Amino acid sequence: MIAQNSQKCFQLAKNHKTVKIPHPKIYILKLFIGKKMKRYTGLIENYRSRLPVSETTRIISLGEGNTPLIELHNIPRMIGKDIKIYVKFEGLNPTGSFKDRGMTLAVTKAVEAGSQAIICASTGNTSAAAAAYAVRAGIQAFVLIPEGKIALGKLAQTLMYGAKIIQINGNFDRGMALVKEVADLAPVTIVNSINPFRIEGQKTAAFEIVDELGFAPDFHCLPVGNAGNITAYWKGYDEYATDRVCGNRPAMCGYQAAGAAPFVEGAMIDNPETIATAIRIGHPQSWDLAWNAQKQSGGWFDKCSDEKILAAQKMLSQFEGVFCEPASAASLAGALNDIHTGKIPDGSTIVCTLTGNGIKDPEIAMMQCADSKPVTIEASLDAVKKAILDNF
C-alpha cells in the first residue's frame, strides 16, 4: 500500500518494510516503462556517441540543451496561413543563449587539452557563456567586447561570472581579429565559433528538433551574425539525414539585420549597424561554411529592417508569451516576410531559432514598452479594484 508520511514523502509497504518512493504517478509509470527515468545532465551526455569525447573526458556542463520547441498558436492564426511555426527557444539555456551548446564542448575540449585559459571576442552572449563555463571548469576567461555595444544583461552576467573583460573602442570584427592574433602569442584557447568544437556542440539543436518532431522541418530560419549557428544546424541535420535518423533536410534560411547583412550584399562590410547588437557583425568568420549550408540545403539569406525585428520581438512576447532578445526575432521577422510573399508556401512546417533570452536586453524591452508604463495607485482595496475594472 502507498501512504504519505508526515514529511509529505510517499512510502510503499513492501515485505514488512516501508520504502521511500517518488510521487505514485511517477512510480507507477516507471514500473510500466520498466526502466529508471534518467536525470538530464546536458547535451554532451545526451549525444555522446555523436560528439568527440571519450570515456575519460571530464565533461564541463551546466545542463545545457533540451530547450523547448514551442508551437506558435496565435501568430499563424493572425496571419491567416496554414503553416506550422515552431520556435526553438534557446534563451532557456543556462546562460540564456544558444552559445552554451557550443561552449560546453569547447571548454570540455580545452580542459582536456590542458588549457588554463580561454579567450573570445563577443557581442555579449559568447562572453557570458565563456565566462560561466570557465568558472565551472576552474580556468580563466578573457573576453573582448565592443565598448558600449553590448546589452546590459550580458555585461552583468559576464561580470558576475568573474571573467576578465577587455573593452575595445572597435566593433566585434576588430575584436575577433585581435583575438586571433593574440592567441598566437599567449597561452589561451579561442572559444569563438572558429573553434570547431563550438559547431559540434551547437549541431545538437538540430538533433533535438528531429528527435522531437520525428522529421526535419521544411524550412529552418535563424538569425545570422558570425554564421556559426547556421553552419552548426546544417551539420546536425545533414548528419542525421545521412544516418537515416530522418528522411529529409530543411532549407536553411538565414536572416541578417539590414545594416549588417554581408551575406545579402555578397561581400564583407566594414561598419555594420543594427539595434540587434548580437548580430552587429560585418565580417562573418564562417563565411564559406554558411554559403555551403545555404547552397546545399536550397535555402537563402535575406535581411530585415530593425523595425521589423523589433516588431517580431514584440509579437512573440505579446501574442505568444515568448520573450527573446532582438537579434533572435530576426528569424521570425524574416520567416513572416517569406510567408507573406509565398516563398515559404502554405502547408509548410518551419522552425525559427530564438537564439537568446529577452531579459538580456532590458533597455530595448523598456524602449519597446515606452507607451505601457505601470500605473501607480494608492495602496487600498478600492483603488486596486478600480484599476482592474478600468482596464478590463
Ligand X SMILES: Cc1ncc(COP(=O)(O)O)c(C=O)c1O
| Footprint of ligand X (CB under 6 A) | 97, 123, 125-126, 193, 223-229, 278-279, 325, 327-328, 355-356
SS (H, E, C) the chain: CEEECCCCCEEEEECCEEEEECCHHHHHHHHHHCCCCCCCCCHHHHCHHHCCCCCCCCCCCCCCCCCCEEECCHHHHHHCCCCEEEEEEHHHCCCCECHHHHHHHHHHHHHHCCCCEEEEECCCHHHHHHHHHHHHHCCEEEEEEECCCCCHHHHHHHHHHCCEEEEECCCHHHHHHHHHHHCCCCCCEECCCCCHHHHHHHCHHHHHHHHHHCCCCCEEEEECCCCHHHHHHHHHHHHHHHCCCCCCCCEEEEEEEHHHCHHHHCCCCCCCCCCCHHHCCCCCCCHHHHHHHHHHHCCEEEEECHHHHHHHHHHHHHHHCCCECHHHHHHHHHHHHHHHHCCCCCCCEEEEEECEEHHHCHHHHHHHCCCCCCCCCCCCHHHHHHHHHHCC
- Is 81 or 336 the residue whose CB approaches ligand X more closely? 336
- Under a CB-based contact definition with an 8 Å cutoff, are residues 117 and 139 in contact? yes
Which lies closer to ligand X via its Cβ, residue 227 or residue 364? 227
CB of 223 to ligand X, least distance (A): 4
Q: If we measure between CA atoms, which residue out of 219, 215, 218 comes closest to residue 335? A: 219
Nearer to ligand X, 81 or 133 (CB): 133
Residue number, 81 or 122, with CB nearest to ligand X: 122
- Minimum CB distance to ligand X, residue 184 (Å): 23
CB of 39 to ligand X, least distance (A): 28
With respect to ligand X, which residue has the nearer C-beta, 81 or 361? 361
Min CB(231)–ligand X separation in Å: 8
Least separation in angstroms between residue 352's CB and ligand X is: 12
Task: Tell me whether residue 81 or residue 94 sits nearer to ligand X (CB atom).
Answer: 94
Instruction: Name which of 50 and 360 has its Cβ closer to ligand X.
Output: 360
CA pair distance 135, 132, nearest whole angstrom: 5
Cα 57–chain centre separation: 25
Q: How far is the CB of 282 from ligand X (least distance, A)?
A: 12
Q: How far is the CB of 78 from ligand X (least distance, A)?
A: 24
At its nearest, how many Å lie between ligand X and the CB of residue 353? Answer: 8
Q: Which is nearer to ligand X, 72 or 327 (CB)?
A: 327
In whole angstroms, how close is the CB of 264 to ligand X at the nearest point? 14
Which residue, 155 or 224, has its beta carbon nearer to ligand X? 224
